[in-house]
Amino acid sequence: MFSIARNTLGELINVLRNLPDNNAYLFPVESLSGASIGQHTRHIIELYQCLLSGYEAGVVNYDNRKRDQLLETESAAAIDALLHISSKLEQPDKDITIQYELNQSPLFIRSNYFREVYYNLEHCIHHQALIKVGLLTLQIHSVPGQFGVAPSTIQYRQQCAQ
């Protein structure tokens, strides 16, 4: 699981490194409800950061993100953050409590670290699919075909092709 998560983050890093310029990272894409590639990338990063920062205490609150403007406006800062996440992701499994606020009432959900890594992986892939739509809308066609596609879907497609 960790290797797949690192590979997925690596795919995003490679896409960001191959953007023609930082304007592509910043441009509001109509087909993404006006969001930019940078905003989707920041969102991916910050959920992983929430998980990593809550690991020690065993409490993660995905709603308490920093919403760091630097991560959504500077692709180089995003790449650095993704590299850091990738290097720190592999940790032993342990119980984790996910804390949410629902209708102004706290809600606590039992989980574990491995489950949350998997959640973040699936979340990352989902946003990569959206990023891919944005890039294609911007006429950037250097995106790998499997970018934003779940490993299970890739495996299924390979089985069908045989």
CA 15 vs. chain centroid, Å, equals 13
Q: Which CATH class is domain 2-161?
A: mainly alpha
Closest C-alpha to 35, from 106, 134, 113: 134
Query: What are the residue ranges in the chain where pLDDT is below 50?
Result: none
Domain boundaries, the chain: 2-161
Each residue's pLDDT tens digit, 79-105 = 999 999 999 999 999 999 999 988 889
